[in-house]
Amino acid sequence: MTAVFAAPSLPTPLATISAVDPGADAGAAAVVTLCRVSDDVEPPAGTPSGWVASAGAVAALAPDDGAGRWLVGAGTGSGKDWRAAGAAAVRVASGRTDPGALYGASGDGPARVQVGLADGHPGPDDGAGWAALATGLLLGSHRFSVRSATPAPPPEVALEVPAAFRDAVERALVLARATATARDLADTPSGAKSPAWFAEQALESLASVPGVDVEIRDEHWLAEHGFGGVLAVGGGSSRPPRLLELTWAPAGATRHVVLVGKGITFDTGGISIKPNAGMADMRTDCSGGAAVVGALGAIAALEVPVRVTGLVPLAENHVSGSAYRPGDVVRHYDGRTTEVANTDAEGRMVLADALGYAVATLAPDVLVDVATLTGAMKVALGVRTGGLFATSDELAARMTAAGDATAEPWWRVPLSAGHDADVDSTLADVRQAPPGPGGIVAALFLRRFVGDVPWAHLDIAGPARCDSPHEEVAKGATGFAARTLVEFCAGHAS
């Protein structure tokens, strides 16, 4: 039956971005000139009357010697503005935004686009600004598709970058590719994306990255080792669960970070079935696991001097005669038992197994899980900010700083002690979906499985998906958290 479902060709092609000296002639067939809002600098010649260089605003200029030309606004030059400008630049030159056409493509080959600053207009003020521009350029070219028609290839972009900021640009491109990987895995339709497919695709995507070991554990291994939460959630599907374990262990590393990502490849809600409205979006319920896969590739590519293990428990939460039920008691890897109240609270069930496994077998210095866990967090924080829970102020500050550095904002939510007793069960050790504020009690449930290990929980139910495109983010899976995880691990070396 799987042959009836269309699978994307991955990875999604991205623009090729190379640095050139400011003012160099890169022989491009399309030229994009970036302008900042300024009262002190004259607009470039030919600027349409009334056009304002707000972030991402586009104006078409008359072609010059056959080359397409556009102005793209960079606003006041904030990081957000530079990301918007980069995304708009690559989209307009690719013919994906009006006005625009695919200039310079030869046959099936890509167009060559040069991106530089208008005379007299200041570029980014620091490496972070240049990194934001590069992030926008690369991720603005990402266009996930399962269409039958072959899309035009993404352009080759020559970005005018001062030599002092080229390292920042190159690093930003590595992090942006991690986001693109996460988007691809999360956005793939679930007809094609079984737990086994996800695991094999992760293996394939990391095969070219030196130093990352990949282990895929099947349902038999999970049963032998007591992963009751993963098996219960995955038991209702004809496509059995998996555990993906990724390891980056550079020589001399003295610190060990374990990243755990929720990998629900589709979520019907199980017997506690979801309403139809919005269920199609549940293909992205593996966004946490996708972020972990993307992050591991970037961590290895950057040769971060920290041992990092990624765990992705993978399951499809389906409805059948073998599905787990409200009222069941499940035994997890660490021996704890959970009373099931709602089969649609499946993410915490699979995470509990993986967290317990990490504590018992991997000796982490810090443990971080990331998951599209609760609709409550989306209600509380909206769709552009992730929820952050942490067992210490220092850990919360480190994670927040990593998010600030990568344009992925987090808001700390308390692990409210007053609700901790709500997690207790009269039938089992804990109950899976206690009453109370949804995001908080879910985090308190997970905390029961981390022991004394410093732990952060990232709830990305809101920002993992996008319905209203903005800056470098298109509709669909966003890849949110992948860059934060890379930055956090890099900062953990000290």
Q: Please say whether the beta carbons of 451 and 359 come within 8 A.
A: yes
Q: For residue 88, name the pLDDT band (cuts at 50, 70, 90).
A: very high
Here the tokens at position 130 are 């240049």
Known catalytic residue: 475?
Answer: no
Which helix or strand (DSSP H or E) is residue 111 part of? none
pLDDT of residue 25: 84
pLDDT of residue 369: 98
Q: What percent of the chain has pLDDT over 70?
A: 96
For 114-138, write each residue's pLDDT tens digit.
999 988 888 998 999 999 999 999 9
How far is it, in rounded angstroms, from Cα 267 to Cα 273? 9
Q: For residue 1, name the pLDDT band (cuts at 50, 70, 90).
A: very low
Residue with tokens 């208008």: 118
How far is it, in rounded angstroms, from Cα 140 to Cα 19? 17
CB-count exposure of residue 286 (10 Å: 0-12, 13-18, 19+): buried
Here the tokens at position 43 are 């607009």
Most confident of 7-16, 111-120, 310-319: 310-319
How far is it, in rounded angstroms, from Cα 174 to Cα 205? 14
* Paired residues of 259 in beta bridges: 310, 368
- Check 348, 398, 465, 483 and give the catalytic one: 348
Q: Please say whether the beta carbons of 265 and 190 come within 8 A.
A: yes
pLDDT of residue 109: 65
Average pLDDT over residues 282-302: 97
Question: Which has more pLDDT, 46 or 452?
Answer: 452
pLDDT of residue 457: 98
Side chain identity at residue 84, one-letter code: A
pLDDT at 108 over 80: no
Residue 377: how many CB atoms within 10 A of its CB?
29
pLDDT of residue 41: 79
How far is it, in rounded angstroms, from Cα 154 to Cα 140? 10
pLDDT of residue 374: 95
pLDDT of residue 116: 92
Q: For residue 98, name the pLDDT band (cuts at 50, 70, 90).
A: very low
pLDDT at 344 over 80: yes
pLDDT of residue 105: 40
E-strand ranges in 199-328 read: 212-217, 242-248, 256-261, 263-267, 307-317
Going from the N-terminus, what domains does the chain have, and what CATH number goes with each?
2-169 (3.40.220.10), 193-491 (3.40.630.10)
Side chain identity at residue 260, one-letter code: V
For 236-284, write each residue's pLDDT tens digit.
999 999 999 999 999 999 999 999 999 999 999 999 999 998 898 999 9
Known catalytic residue: 193?
Answer: no
Torsion over CA: 383, 314, 329, 416 (sign): negative
Average pLDDT over residues 102-119: 69
Ordered DSSP codes for 133-149: HHHHHHHHT------SS
Q: What is the mean pLDDT of the chain?
A: 92
pLDDT at 96 over 80: no
Q: What angle do CA 364, 292, 243 make, to 5 degrees?
A: 75
Q: For residue 65, name the pLDDT band (cuts at 50, 70, 90).
A: confident
Q: Please say whether the beta carbons of 441 and 57 come within 8 A.
A: no
pLDDT of residue 45: 81
Residue 418: how many CB atoms within 10 A of its CB?
9
Closest CA to 433 of 310, 331, 309, 348: 348
E-strand ranges in 199-323 read: 212-217, 242-248, 256-261, 263-267, 307-317
For 360-414, write each residue's pLDDT tens digit.
999 999 999 999 999 999 999 999 999 999 999 999 999 999 999 999 999 999 9
- Check 166, 274, 384, 447 and give the catalytic one: 274
In sequence order, the 6+-apart residues with CB closer than 8 A to the CB of 9 are none
Helical packing angle, 127-140 and 79-93, nearest 10°: 30
Side chain identity at residue 494, one-letter code: S
Closest CA to 104 of 33, 49, 152, 170: 152
Global pTM value: 0.94
Which helix or strand (DSSP H or E) is residue 371 part of? strand 366-371
pLDDT at 102 over 60: no
How far is it, in rounded angstroms, from Cα 324 to Cα 344? 10
pLDDT of residue 95: 66
**Residue 376 CB-half CA count within 13 A:** 14
